[in-house]
Amino acid sequence: MKILAVTFRLYAPWVHSLKEKRMIVQSLITKLQNRFHVSAAEIDEQDVHQFIVIGIAAIVPHNAMADRLVTEISQFVEESSEAEIIETFREIR
């Protein structure tokens, strides 16, 4: 059994308030949790309007499953949000 931890850093240039950012973040996190059954939360830069940092954690049986899950989640984030993925960090333990 492995633990997968992924961090996505997104850029949303049209966001100009924390309220607007919070709506985007909450929607994306809820969609991720419902679709992939993972733990997800905003983990950094909560006070910066245009940057979103989301952390995702999941238990996977092996590395191949972790790779597939990261690919699926990355595609989902790109399709579900107008925000651009700037960085993706992945760790498997």
Give residue 35's identity as a one-letter amino acid code: R
Decide if pLDDT at 4 tops 90. Answer: yes
For 17-48, write each residue's pLDDT tens digit. Answer: 999 999 999 999 999 999 999 999 999 988 88
The count of residues in the chain is 93
Rounded Cα–Cα distance for residues 13 and 56 (Å): 23
Please report the pLDDT score of residue 74 as a whole number: 93
Give the CA distances from residue 76 to residues 17, 18, 28, in Å, rounded to whole numbers and listed in that order: 25, 23, 10
The single residue listed with the structure tokens 């499953």 is 65
As for how many domains the chain has, the answer is 1
CATH code for the domain in which residue 64 is found: 3.30.70.1120
- To the nearest whole number, what is the mean pLDDT of the chain? 94
Asked if 59 contacts 1 with a C-beta cutoff of 8 angstroms, the reply is yes
